[in-house]
């Protein structure tokens, strides 16, 4: 009897929590005092299979708006309600730049409908392409694009970019940012080159990881909201052999492990919550159908636990583009089997229909669905969406604030790269300049300075689309040179035309000509090109300008390095401005005047030849036979086929590197060596220098790159000032490399270290 009472009491104690919650009727999943795991489990136990599949669905808002136009961010409540009721949609995406207040109204209405229609009140999560700041938010502050921020070699700026993005958009309900792009910019033809932080895995890792922290850290300014970032596009997307978007890539697994994995791994290690899949194919397998990449590599080796979302309509592309499946059903099964959690469907519900069929007929288990839904719900809980699903309009006045603007200006100034400055033609000090000619297609275009993903997918078209405080290059120069006469020629006209004559006269009399050329905005496949050379009209105009005025400065506003080899000898000074963002014009004018002392370095190798290009960290190649003297600007005595190598950038001052010293000449696997070098500012102005440390594994079982960036640090030095900077080498992290399976290979023997033009060696034994 005693035993019976005891076991009755035991059962009572065990079941007490359930009884308590049953009594007060607050389900566990709605009670924040429970752990996320407990809440997910409880919620899952209440959901139907249809509701679960709804959570795996992401729909474009044109499906629930009053029109098909992305820019029309106005909800059609009837359409939205019907869709939410029928399909239980868990996520929406996209839009275009509209004022913050309009976003608030929209998101508020949509969230209310979603909460009303959801039987269990599961909040939606909204994903958006805020790419270099809150780029789909009117009046937000936009930073330089990836390729330019990469050139700042200052991860703090990438962090600030992420943070300002969420400060300017989290309140309206944008809790999922489709950035950063962690692909490597190794193929200059590729139209998404500018979205990357550059060609080097270490640089991209550092910048990406900082951006992720900027987005995901629980900033008190946006409390109670939190935001998820997206590592995209996993992986190897950026190396197509055609150079075009969404075209086949062949990569060895060793190259994937050594070059393409690190930036994604760094983001995962920083806790990134979501990841978007590469739309292309690798080694004959579309990545959306690759279990090897999406599960074996991503989950099992790299340890990713968050949400894997497809890119745009990429499940159906498995049968209507890649043709590895016959139909919707086969494609959906392939993607789910590979490891996809959420489908950016985005404009139909075939995914939902066929996934339900697949579960009902037993081809996909409900347990497999649960795995994905758990991941999705977990992130919704972690972001606090169940407690705070509704947006707020109380703090919208900070969108576009002067503090944010100041950071974007700093980022633009640090990202510009001075590539050439013969006879120190630059800076052109404002007080000494009376007359400037501004020429070229980008002098009056705000849109060219910003590139794609600016206000809309393909970039803003008209200057009127931009906030009024964003300047054109012309306006930037007028502000920086208030006392100078400034004449502007967007085109130089035909030979002997009135326009041409006017230009010739102005250029002859001016103190200098600033030619601002390059590219117009494009995004994704729209930017596919067949010739990397800068267009002939511009090349001719630059030649003409420099034949008239020896002080002709070329400013390149472009998303990828367009070839300038034919005219590089004609101009005295060149600045790579890349896509410097909303403060690009200010930064260009301030850099030319010397208000900003240039301190950016190329985040990629600038090609010399149209048909031959290798990155700085190439494997031993036959550049051995290359006539080094053909390239005018080879640095560091190294044979290279680049016009300007990775890491190259001049200043208005000079930095001298000396005393490279190692704390030991050899080390063991569990030991360390510290390298130090003294950097001195030997010029006459204060400047910033990024000190880049490279390592070479001299002999490897698998061929080793000629050098790899392993550490960098940006310092500021006054004239005459010197600093000793150091790099502590950890064998496991800095001296190893992965084999094709991702196992670390750490080989005894000689290693070389390089900083500036200095080199030393040590042994691992
Ligand atoms: C792009 C992604 C983007 C998505 C949603 C796709 O076409 O490849 O980078 O996030 O569209 O707009």
Q: What is the CATH number of the domain that holds 663?
A: 2.60.40.10
Confidence at 308, pLDDT banded by 50, 70, 90: very high
* DSSP sequence for 613-649: ---TTPPS-GGGGS-GGGSTT--TT---SEEE-TT--
432 and 551 in a single domain? The answer is yes
Question: What mean pLDDT, rounded, does the chain reach?
Answer: 94
Which of 127, 178, 245, 454 is the pocket-test mutation for ligand 1 (most atoms within 8 Å of CB)?
178
Q: Tell me the CA–centroid distance for residue 233 and ligand 1, in Å.
A: 9
Position 509 in a domain: yes
Confidence at 627, pLDDT banded by 50, 70, 90: very low
d(CA 150, CA 602): 8
Position 165 in a domain: yes
d(CA 582, CA 404): 11
323 and 445 in a single domain? The answer is no
Q: Tell me the CA–centroid distance for residue 332 and ligand 1, in Å.
A: 19
Residue 463's CATH number: 3.40.50.1700
Q: Tell me the CA–centroid distance for residue 312 and ligand 1, in Å.
A: 6
The answer to whether residue 663 scores a pLDDT higher than 70 is: yes
Q: How far apart are the first and last CA of the chain?
A: 72
Q: E-assigned strands of 474-582?
A: 485-489, 512-518, 552-557, 573-576
pLDDT at 638: 53
The answer to whether residue 372 scores a pLDDT higher than 50 is: yes
pLDDT digits (tens, 9 = 90+) for 439-458: 999 999 999 999 999 999 99
pLDDT at 640: 66
Coil vs helix vs strand at 533: strand
Which of 129, 229, 451 is the pocket-test mutation for ligand 1 (most atoms within 8 Å of CB)?
129
Confidence at 612, pLDDT banded by 50, 70, 90: confident
> Which atom of ligand 1 approaches the CA of 233 most closely?
9
Residue having the nearest C-alpha atom to atom 7 of ligand 1: 312
> Which atom of ligand 1 approaches the CA of 181 most closely?
9
The answer to whether residue 203 scores a pLDDT higher than 80 is: yes
Phi, psi of 300 (to 5 degrees): -75, -40
- Specify whether the CB–CB gap between 416 and 157 falls below 8 A: no
- Biggest CA–CA distance in the chain, Å, is 114
The answer to whether residue 1 scores a pLDDT higher than 70 is: no
Position 33 in a domain: yes
Confidence at 733, pLDDT banded by 50, 70, 90: very high
Which of 95, 308, 312 is the pocket-test mutation for ligand 1 (most atoms within 8 Å of CB)?
312
Total of domains in the chain: 3
Q: Which pairs from 736-741 meet CB under 8 Å and 24+ separation?
A: 737/258, 737/697, 737/700, 737/702, 737/704, 738/254, 738/257, 738/258, 738/261, 739/254, 739/257, 739/702, 740/252, 740/253, 740/254, 740/257, 741/253, 741/257
Cis-peptide, bond into residue 392, ω within 30° of zero: no
> Which atom of ligand 1 approaches the CA of 232 most closely?
9
Name the residue with tokens 């392939």: 334
Position 410 in a domain: no
Residue having the nearest C-alpha atom to atom 6 of ligand 1: 312
Position 631 in a domain: no
pLDDT at 71: 84
- The residue range of the domain holding 695 is 655-764
Coil vs helix vs strand at 527: helix
> Which atom of ligand 1 approaches the CA of 457 most closely?
12
**Mean pLDDT of the region 699-703:** 93
> Which atom of ligand 1 approaches the CA of 129 most closely?
10
d(CA 524, CA 557): 18
The answer to whether residue 8 scores a pLDDT higher than 60 is: no
Give, as one character, the DSSP assignment of residue 181.
Answer: B
pLDDT cut 70: percent of the chain above it: 94
**Mean pLDDT of the region 569-582:** 97
Least confident of 384-398, 492-506, 604-618: 604-618
**Mean pLDDT of the region 43-47:** 98
The answer to whether residue 503 scores a pLDDT higher than 70 is: yes
Q: Tell me which of 311, 341, 586, 734 is the catalytic residue.
A: 311
The answer to whether residue 611 scores a pLDDT higher than 90 is: no
pLDDT at 24: 60
Residue 437, number of CB atoms within 10 A of its CB: 26
**Mean pLDDT of the region 568-591:** 97
Cα 322 → chain centroid? 26
Residue having the nearest C-alpha atom to atom 11 of ligand 1: 312
148 and 240 in a single domain? The answer is yes
436 and 380 in a single domain? The answer is no
Of the three residues 331, 357, 392, the one that is the final residue of a domain is 392
Position 287 in a domain: yes
pLDDT digits (tens, 9 = 90+) for 476-494: 999 999 999 999 999 999 9
Q: What Cα–Cα distance (Å) separates residue 662 from each residue in 123, 659, 754?
A: 56, 10, 11
Structure tokens at 49: 């299979």
341 and 425 in a single domain? The answer is no
576 and 456 in a single domain? The answer is yes
The answer to whether residue 574 scores a pLDDT higher than 60 is: yes
pLDDT at 576: 98
Q: How many Cα atoms within 13 Å fall on the side-chain side of residue 52?
A: 24
Q: Tell me the CA–centroid distance for residue 257 and ligand 1, in Å.
A: 24
> Which atom of ligand 1 approaches the CA of 279 most closely?
8
Residue 266, number of CB atoms within 10 A of its CB: 22
Name the residue with tokens 């029928």: 86
pLDDT at 69: 87
Q: Tell me the CA–centroid distance for residue 344 and ligand 1, in Å.
A: 9
> Which atom of ligand 1 approaches the CA of 94 most closely?
12
Which of 92, 276, 280, 321 is the pocket-test mutation for ligand 1 (most atoms within 8 Å of CB)?
276
Confidence at 21, pLDDT banded by 50, 70, 90: very low
pLDDT cut 90: percent of the chain above it: 91
Is pLDDT larger for residue 275 or for residue 4? Answer: 275
pLDDT digits (tens, 9 = 90+) for 104-155: 999 999 999 999 999 999 999 999 999 999 999 999 999 999 999 999 999 9
Q: Tell me the CA–centroid distance for residue 69 and ligand 1, in Å.
A: 17
Confidence at 631, pLDDT banded by 50, 70, 90: very low
Residue having the nearest C-alpha atom to atom 2 of ligand 1: 311
596 and 677 in a single domain? The answer is no
How many residues are present in the chain?
765
Is pLDDT larger for residue 660 or for residue 619? Answer: 660
Of the three residues 561, 589, 604, the one that is the final residue of a domain is 604
Q: Tell me the CA–centroid distance for residue 311 and ligand 1, in Å.
A: 6
678 and 555 in a single domain? The answer is no
Residue having the nearest C-alpha atom to atom 8 of ligand 1: 311
Confidence at 66, pLDDT banded by 50, 70, 90: very high
Q: What Cα–Cα distance (Å) separates residue 156 from each residue in 153, 210, 306, 410?
A: 9, 7, 25, 11
Cis-peptide, bond into residue 529, ω within 30° of zero: no
175 and 137 in a single domain? The answer is yes
Of the three residues 377, 392, 407, the one that is the final residue of a domain is 392
Residue 131's CATH number: 3.20.20.300
Position 308 in a domain: yes
pLDDT at 636: 42
> Which atom of ligand 1 approaches the CA of 344 most closely?
5
Phi, psi of 545 (to 5 degrees): -60, -45
Position 645 in a domain: no
**Mean pLDDT of the region 348-358:** 98
Confidence at 17, pLDDT banded by 50, 70, 90: very low
Confidence at 10, pLDDT banded by 50, 70, 90: very low
Phi, psi of 211 (to 5 degrees): -60, -40
382 and 334 in a single domain? The answer is yes
Residue 549, number of CB atoms within 10 A of its CB: 21
Confidence at 206, pLDDT banded by 50, 70, 90: very high
Cis-peptide, bond into residue 722, ω within 30° of zero: no
d(CA 96, CA 458): 11
Q: Tell me the CA–centroid distance for residue 129 and ligand 1, in Å.
A: 7
Residue 393 appears among annotated catalytic residues: no
Q: Which residues line ligand 1 (CB under 6 A)?
A: 94, 129, 178, 232, 279, 311-312, 524
Q: Tell me the CA–centroid distance for residue 212 and ligand 1, in Å.
A: 18
The answer to whether residue 610 scores a pLDDT higher than 50 is: yes
539 and 490 in a single domain? The answer is yes
Q: Tell me the CA–centroid distance for residue 511 and ligand 1, in Å.
A: 45
102 and 42 in a single domain? The answer is yes
The answer to whether residue 4 scores a pLDDT higher than 70 is: no
> What is the C-alpha R_g of the chain?
28
């Amino acid at each position: 009897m005693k035993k019976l009472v005891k076991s009755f009491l035991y059962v009572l104690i065990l079941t007490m929590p359930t009884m308590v919650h049953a009594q007060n009727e607050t389900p566990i999943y709605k009670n924040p005092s429970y752990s996320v795991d407990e809440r997910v489990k409880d919620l899952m136990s209440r959901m139907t299979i249809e509701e679960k599949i709804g959570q795996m669905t992401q729909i474009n808002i044109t499906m629930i708006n009053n029109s098909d136009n992305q820019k029309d961010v106005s909800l059609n409540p009837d359409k939205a309600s019907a869709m939410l009721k029928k399909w239980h949609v868990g996520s929406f995406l996209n839009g275009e730049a509209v004022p913050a207040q309009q976003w608030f109204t929209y998101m508020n209405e949509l969230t209310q409908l979603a909460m009303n229609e959801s039987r269990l009140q599961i909040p939606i999560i909204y994903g958006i392409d805020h790419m270099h700041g809150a780029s789909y938010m009117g009046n937000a502050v936009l930073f330089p694009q990836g390729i330019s921020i990469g050139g700042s070699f200052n991860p703090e700026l990438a962090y600030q970019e992420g943070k300002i993005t969420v400060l300017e958009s989290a309140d309206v309900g944008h809790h999922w940012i489709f950035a950063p792009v962690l692909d490597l910019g190794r193929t200059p033809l590729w139209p998404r080159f500018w979205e990357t932080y550059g060609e080097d895995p270490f640089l991209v890792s550092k910048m990406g990881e900082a951006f992720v922290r900027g987005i995901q850290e629980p900033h008190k300014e946006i409390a109670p909201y939190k935001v998820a970032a997206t590592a995209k596009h996993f992986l190897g997307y950026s190396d197509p052999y055609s150079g075009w978007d969404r075209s086949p890539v062949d990569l060895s697994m060793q190259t994937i492990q050594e070059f393409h994995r690190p930036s994604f791994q760094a983001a995962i290690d920083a806790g990134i919550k979501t990841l978007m899949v590469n739309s292309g194919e690798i080694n004959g397998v579309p990545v959306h159908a690759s279990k090897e990449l999406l599960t074996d590599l991503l989950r099992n080796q790299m340890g990713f636990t968050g949400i894997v979302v497809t890119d745009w309509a990429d499940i159906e592309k498995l049968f209507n583009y890649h043709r590895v499946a016959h139909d919707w059903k086969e494609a959906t099964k392939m993607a789910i089997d590979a490891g996809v959690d959420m489908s950016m469907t985005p404009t139909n519900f075939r995914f939902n229909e066929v996934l339900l069929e697949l579960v009902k007929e037993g081809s996909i288990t409900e347990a497999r669905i649960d795995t994905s839904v758990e991941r999705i719900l977990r992130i919704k809980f972690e972001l606090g969406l169940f407690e705070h699903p509704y947006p707020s309009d109380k703090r919208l006045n900070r969108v576009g604030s002067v503090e944010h603007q100041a950071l974007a200006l700093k980022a633009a100034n640090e990202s510009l790269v001075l590539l050439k400055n013969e006879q120190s033609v630059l800076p052109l000090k404002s007080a000494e300049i009376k007359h400037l000619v501004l020429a070229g297609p980008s002098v009056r275009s705000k849109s060219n300075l910003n590139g794609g993903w600016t206000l809309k997918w393909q970039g803003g078209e008209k200057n009127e689309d931009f906030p009024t405080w964003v300047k054109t290059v012309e306006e930037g120069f007028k502000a920086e040179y208030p006392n100078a006469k400034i004449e502007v020629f967007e085109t130089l006209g035909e030979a002997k035309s009135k326009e041409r004559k006017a230009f010739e006269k102005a250029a002859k009399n001016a103190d200098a000509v600033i030619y601002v050329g390059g590219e117009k905005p494009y995004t994704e496949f729209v930017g596919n090109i067949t010739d990397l050379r800068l267009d002939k009209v511009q090349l001719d105009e630059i030649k003409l300008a420099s034949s008239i005025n020896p002080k002709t400065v070329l400013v390149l506003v472009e998303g990828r390095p367009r070839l300038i080899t034919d005219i590089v000898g004609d101009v005295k000074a060149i600045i790579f401005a890349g896509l410097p963002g909303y403060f690009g014009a200010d930064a260009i004018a301030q850099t030319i005047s010397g208000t900003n002392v240039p301190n950016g370095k190329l985040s990629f190798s600038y090609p010399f030849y149209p048909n031959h290009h290798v990155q700085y960290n190439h494997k031993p190649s036959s550049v051995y036979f290359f006539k080094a003297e053909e390239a005018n600007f080879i640095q560091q005595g190294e044979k290279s086929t680049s016009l300007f190598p990775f890491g190259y950038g001049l200043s208005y001052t000079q930095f001298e590197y000396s005393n490279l010293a190692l704390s030991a000449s050899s080390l063991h696997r569990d030991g360390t060596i510290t390298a130090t070098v003294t950097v001195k500012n030997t010029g006459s102005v204060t400047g910033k220098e990024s000190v880049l440390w490279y390592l070479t594994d001299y002999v490897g079982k698998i061929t080793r790159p000629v050098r790899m960036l392993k550490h960098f640090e940006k310092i500021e030095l006054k004239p005459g000032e010197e600093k000793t900077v150091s790099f502590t080498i950890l064998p496991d992290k800095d001296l190893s490399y992965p084999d094709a399976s991702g196992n670390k290979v750490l080989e005894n023997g000689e290693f070389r270290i390089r900083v500036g033009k200095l080199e030393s060696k040590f042994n691992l034994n």
